[in-house]
A = this chain, B = another copy of it.
Amino acid sequence: MRVAVLGTGMVGQAIAGRFDELGHDVRVGTRDPAATMSRTEPDQLGNPPFPAWHERHAGIRLDTYADAAAAAELVVNATPGSVSLDVLEAAGAEHLDGKVLIDISNPLVFTPDGPPTLFVDNTDSLGEGIQRTFPGARVVKTLNTVNAELMAHPATLADGGHSIFVCGNDASAKAQVTNILTSFGHTDVIDLGDITSARGVEMYLPVWLRLMGALGTARFNVKVIR
């Protein structure tokens, strides 16, 4: 499948790398490919610059958001929530129409003191905002509840014995995304309902962040025991 992954950070790299590993035709979208390829410094979190990752994934083409999305059958939003709507606007509504759009973003606001908060209130979600803004896209919210490594390689933790969620209005889009998640190694994909259920998975972030603090690692996930 031809996949566009919008975003060059940890999440974009993990997802693009995983689709590539599985034999898909992957393009990564960025605002300005030349600028992205000229980066030599680690990002704010100390991760290596994109060109260092790209050297090891030379088969993956770096494009503008619009060119990557235009060429794709499936688009992944792997950008920070604070810029997601702008990035998707740059990708172009006409390049999202009718396509499955996997939305991984979280609506986090980072504050100088104290933990991050959310920039949507609890009667809305970023997933819904994206679906409203791009009504032709078939938005499926997923993967935002784990760190980048576990998104792409869930089997590295407890042989994949933990749960992941899908939210969206389009049943066939959710079925397609569930198949993709299964191919990644996710063993328990739970359909939470329409896109309004994105509120639940986005509002899960505060407890995820506290768990990361309590456990001293981001390598964890929840398994829904029933």
Contact = CB atoms under 8 A, between A and B. Distances in A.
A211 interface: yes
Given A158-B225, A222-B222, A197 B215 contact: no
Give the interface size class of chain A. Answer: 35 or more
A121 to B, nearest CB: 7
A209 B219 contact: no
Interface string A205-226: 0111111011101011111111
Contacts of A122: 117-118, 121-122, 203, 206
Given A223-B223, A224-B222, A200 B210 contact: yes
Contact of A210 (B161, B193, B208, B209): B193
A37 interface: no
27 contacts: A114-B196, A115-B196, A118-B122, A165-B207, A190-B211, A190-B214, A190-B215, A192-B207, A192-B211, A192-B213, A197-B207, A197-B210, A200-B207, A200-B211, A201-B207, A203-B203, A203-B206, A203-B207, A204-B204, A217-B226, A219-B226, A220-B225, A221-B225, A222-B222, A222-B223, A222-B224, A222-B225
Given A122-B122, A157-B225, 20 more contacts: A114-B196, A121-B122, A122-B206, A162-B225, A163-B222, A165-B207, A190-B211, A192-B207, A192-B210, A192-B213, A200-B206, A200-B208, A200-B209, A201-B207, A203-B203, A203-B207, A204-B207, A222-B222, A222-B224, A223-B225
Interface of A: 114-115, 117-118, 121-123, 157-158, 161-163, 165, 190-193, 196-197, 199-201, 203-204, 206-211, 213-215, 217, 219-226
